[in-house]
Amino acid sequence: MNALKIKKIIQECLTDGQSVDQAVDEILGILQTKEAQIDLDREDRCGLQEVIYGKGKSTDQVMDIINAMTQKGLDNILVTKAPQDMGQSLVENFQGTYDPSSGIYHYGSYPPAKGEVTLICAGTSDLPIARECLLTLKSLGHSCHFIQDVGVAGIHRLLAHEEALQQSQVIIVIAGMEGALLSVVGGLCKCPLIGVPTSVGYGASFNGLAALLAMLNSCAAGSAVVNIDNGFGAAVLASRILNLK
């Protein structure tokens, strides 16, 4: 935490009745709710403020966290993997927007776009993870060139976009089944490449494990792979790559 923020906290303690314990927590970068400790310094430290993972939390827990964040003036708040009933409750209580396909809830304003990511989605069944990635990119201040339904079963659909692939700064490839699309794209581009295996596929795909292993073993050198169904993580990695530029 920088000196300006510390001075502001001390001033609030002296003039606004904030307790010493609250001031200490804020200086340490901690915002307490009933059941959570919000990391206030994460944006300064990591370039991205804390994002709320909705799956496994109750709606009340998420609402307490968002309420505490908004009271501190935090904006551009993101909840990932939010079930539909949670998303609807958040919209009713805080407004914002909820996308039921991806499970993404967003509160506040989006930053202006400062760089473009090429996002490639193998099939329509992979769209929920692709939309998680797209909406996370938007919250990080990046636009998206979205190429969808170009899986390897109809490879000519992808080849029609070869010029765009060559001009891309960073590419995210989202694919389930056997995850072969990452290797194909890797042979067509020269920019950083991020693979997202999805849990889409028949029994022997083992809920995305087959696609994960195929992407990790890709013969197209220079690609990175995030966890199964982790569109959020791929978006953050792409953002860091763009911010370096």
DSSP letter string over 149-174? S--GGGHHHHHTTHHHHHH-S-EEEE
Query: What distance in Å separates the CA atoms of residue 197 and residue 225, rounded to the nearest whole number?
Result: 8
Q: Among the listed ranges 41-50, 68-77, 94-103, 158-167, which one has the minimum average pLDDT value?
A: 41-50
Query: What distance in Å separates the CA atoms of residue 9 and residue 27, rounded to the nearest whole number?
Result: 7
Q: What is the pLDDT of residue 3?
A: 60
List, for residues 67-112, the tens digit of each pLDDT value: 888 888 888 999 999 999 999 999 999 989 999 999 999 999 898 8
Query: What distance in Å separates the CA atoms of residue 155 and residue 122, rounded to the nearest whole number?
Result: 10
- Enter the pTM of the model: 0.84
Annotated domain spans of the chain: 1-32, 46-107, 116-244
Quickly state the pLDDT bin for 24 (edges 50, 70, 90): low
List, for residues 188-233, the tens digit of each pLDDT value: 998 999 999 999 999 999 999 999 999 999 988 889 999 999 999 9
* Interhelix angle 84-94/59-71, nearest 10 degrees: 30
Residue with tokens 């505490």: 68
Q: Which of 101, 142, 91, 106 lies closest to 125 in space, CA to CA?
A: 101
Q: Which two tokens stand for residue 51?
A: 């994002």
Q: Is residue 40 predicted with pLDDT exceeding 70?
A: yes
Backbone Cα Rg of the chain: 20
Q: Is residue 186 predicted with pLDDT exceeding 90?
A: yes
Q: What is the pLDDT of residue 21?
A: 58
If one counts every other C-beta atom within 10 angstroms of the C-beta of residue 5, the result is 15
Quickly state the pLDDT bin for 7 (edges 50, 70, 90): low
Q: What is the pLDDT of residue 9?
A: 64
The mean pLDDT value of the chain amounts to 88
For residues 38, 42, 47, 48, the Cα torsion angle rounded to the nearest 10 degrees is -10
Answer for the pair 205, 185: CB distance below 8 angstroms, yes or no.
no
If one counts every other C-beta atom within 10 angstroms of the C-beta of residue 20, the result is 8
Q: What is the pLDDT of residue 69?
A: 87
Q: Which two tokens stand for residue 88?
A: 């609807």
Q: Which CATH class is domain 116-244?
A: alpha beta
Answer for the pair 198, 228: CB distance below 8 angstroms, yes or no.
yes
Give burial (CB, 10 Å; 0-12/13-18/19+) of 12.
Answer: middle
